[in-house]
Structure 1
Amino acid sequence: MNQPSDHRPRWSNESNVPDLYHLLRLTGPDASDDEIQSALRRLKAELARQSKSESAAKLSRLLKLATANLSNPKVRAKYDAQWRSAYEAVEPNAAFTQKSVHKTAGTLPQEFLALLPKGDALKTFDLAKFVKGTTANSSRLEADQREYAELMAAISDNRAVRPQVGGLAVEIVAESSGPPPVNPSPLTRPRLGSQETPSILAKRMRRRREQNMWISVVGFLISLGIVFGVTYYLVQRSQKQVAQSADANFENFTQEPAPPSQASGLPQVIGLEPDVDVFNSNPAELIDGNATMAESADGQDSEALPQPAPELLPPSTTIQPTETPAPTLSPEKEMVATAELTEAQKQAWEQALSIVREQLGNQQYASIDWQALRSQASLPSQTADLERLERLGKLAADLQSTLVDAIRGRAGGETFHVGATQLGFVESNEGSITLKVSGGNQRFLLTQLPVGIALALTDMANRAPLGDYQAQQAAFILFHPARNQLALRRAQGLIREAVALGAVSDDLLREFEVTQ
């Protein structure tokens, strides 16, 4: 028969009568008062010796039951009647009366402790209630008695001897009013001679719980580290995407821009070939129909090319180029111009121009003292360089003003595109702007705003003509601190378009070539 999973006794009804005589190692109701008192004294001595053991509570309960039911003759008479109806009427030859019970060494057989009922130790037994319950459960009682007999037979076997301490078994069966189930299967039957105490089992279970706890903690920390790592990677990726989106705005400008069409507003020139390079040619030659091209690279005279008929061009459309008078220099300046500059003077001038370019890149347009810089120029070439920077600085300042107006005109939640990337406007402060990029907010200083974002914002607020606006964009890109080669090529294309439209002079191209 398989061992039940619940180790609690099967006799849990309070009406069951405990066999106090056999628990005290007495023969039965025929025991004399002296024998009962002697058994009680032995039980008290046993309780004193094992006051700190696990069986002390059971021994104390047995002492209370035996004293309450066997010390008083009247109470004992009622108990004897109940005992006889329970242990003699049902089965005279039950396991409780077998001689094998008395073979167990020690003052108190530990197997009988399971017969102790639960409840008040001083509560008297109800005979009528007990007889009624015994009659109704007679078949179950007989089965329990048979199982108990098998258990007693196993205890009496010489192959399973329990360790004894002072005549009393160490292991005490759990408190109950009946014997525990016996005769388990060979695989699940507990070893009676096992030396493993509950404390060892508890330690083993505690170690297993600690191992499981540490495994859970380590797994949680690893998961947390993975989450933090992925979050950090996504944040870094979103920050890099802002700069990459600015470059993506110029992907379609890697090649040289096509020349403007004839519908761009320029006067029509009869005889102008479509393959003429409007960026590398002199704009005055493109406007003046009587101008001739220079000698070609293969040595042939350009007069062989077809010339426009003068009589077909209206006189009113002919624009005569005006010659700009050469700048006059004072005698002191002419002496300096003819002299050779020293290396220290050249380095000082280059450093001054570098500082000016840095100030233009930081959008510090008002802090540049152009008059003081003109006084430092010693050669006409230096004066020309300074004038180009001043004109480009004014163009960049105009675009920066347009950028500020565009930012002020935006409201929270508005979206715009930079190439294929959609950005959202969040808020703007003095000198900074906050945009929503890839689901996260990014704050930029106006001096560090990527070129693509800046130009996308100015497109929404520009009111300048096309040529002027292209020149402003080119100047802004030229001085931007975060420009790259792709952005610089885009700026060169914009300034060429502005020159072709007549918005600026072609001498500004020199500044873009020098920067490259």
Structure 2
Amino acid sequence: MSDSNPSTPERFPDLYSLLGLKPLERDTVVIEQALRRLAIHIQAGANATDAAQRQRLQRARKQFELGKQQLLDPQRKQRYDQQWQALYGQAVSQSNAKQASEPRIPSAAKKQSAAGALTLPSTMQNSSWDLRELQACLPSGDPHAPFRAAEYAASVASELNSRYQEDFAKLRSLLTPNSVATLGSDVGVDEQGNSSSVPASSPSISVRGKKTPATPRAVSGPWPDTSTAVRLRKKRERGLLWGAISALSALGVVLGIAYWLMQPASDSNLTAKPMGAPAAIPDPANSWLPTADPAADRSPPRRSGLPSVPGLDSSAVVPGMPAPREMNSPETMPAVPNRVPTTDMDAKMAAGIAPANIKSAPQMVIESVPESVMLNAVEREQWSSAMLAARKAIGQQQYAEATQQLVDARSLVKTSQQTEQLVRLATVEQLAQEFSEALHRAIDGMGGAETFIVGKSTPVSFVEASPDRLTLRLEGQNQSWTMTDLPIGIAYSLVDMSMDREHPRSLAAKAAFTLVHPAAQGKDMATERALQWMSAAIEAGAVSKDMAQVFTDDYQLHE
């Protein structure tokens, strides 16, 4: 609407009249209520199909917009009111003056008509109201005469007193001994004991209906039936009894489970055994590697506290994962002098070499390393370079090369610290390869356009894959990565398709792969998450207790 002064009402609509407001309404709340009513009317007719209705709705929308712009803004309302007074103010003043000049009928002129009825004002003579019935209820007399309250109270009191005396006499007659005769005399029961046809609740029945008063006599039948109360009481008792029985049963079940959990493990075959890795038995075909016995005891293996070499640890065999690789075979592990045989299984498995003079089951031995051996700077540098090169090869997923480098690094071992670092890195190599194999199995099992979720809600579609490259559709675009550059989040989601994501061994594999994966380097959140997974695997017994130190190993052989 233009701010210029309009000359005709067509160019300047009367919003107060259109919205049903008083002229020059200043209350913002009232204006908002009027606009809200108009908005509700517009919403109610939004689905109108008639052309006339759509035209009316269009006008209503225009009125709503104009009212919101011109009446809710204080500055615009001030200018609108000035223009409104210039255009409509004179007509409104004349209308108010005309209404004020009309004579009013005084209330005293309303006299009673000749028929005794009151002459009602014209505003109350509505065709839908019939006031003649109300006139019959009014007292007689002049309605304009003064009301005498004392006389009215005396007349009403005398009338009420007479009614009260009559009702009181009836009440006393009901309470006399003659009226309390028998159980059926007050409700019209005849002498044969048959009830009358009139119901007991009928107001026409009188308790003194018989001419001769009934004499008191004993009640032949039983007293009123109290079986309902008895049934309710018994029902409550049964409910309490069943509740107590249920509570005792639940308590017994809980105590039984607690007792069963507190019982020590038995050697009997009937006793339930905890879940764990299957026991390892010697393989006749390859005496250097143990194989999993599916029917063997699945209880956690006994730990001696000494480091164990991955591939020979019985906990390395997990359902759904590849079997341990032949890493510590006699061909790849050269003989080491000064061997001392041990009786602990973990110590035997740590060496992975059997003496040549025993032809039966191989005897696992470990090299005794004196604690007082001191390394010079050259030996330390050789050790650090060899371990870092093996770790880099693991990150590049060159597992055969990494295995050979770990085998070569055994010739450099002279201290117990070197032995522990070598065992931990060998475990990382095996876990990372298990993760990589599960990743390739998941990719091989996917079809074109198959969709999976990365993270919590990111959809990713499979496009194609080659041995060293993977193409996925992410955020509407095809993106391709090598296996070493694959984002760690996508790798997690793919591996979860082929591994048990909650198994401790799976958690350890994820942690090891994250530790050496190039795409995850420098990401503190990924490293922290991998450390949490490795801690959970250590707590479950899937890996040795010192595997958490692999996150801080720098292979510098600090004193």
TM-score range, shorter chain: 0.3 to 0.5
Which is richer in helix? 1
Which entry has the higher C-alpha Rg, 1 or 2?
A: 1
TM-score w.r.t. length of structure 2: 0.34
* More relative contact order, 1 or 2 (CA 8 Å, 6+ apart): 1
TM-score w.r.t. length of structure 1: 0.36
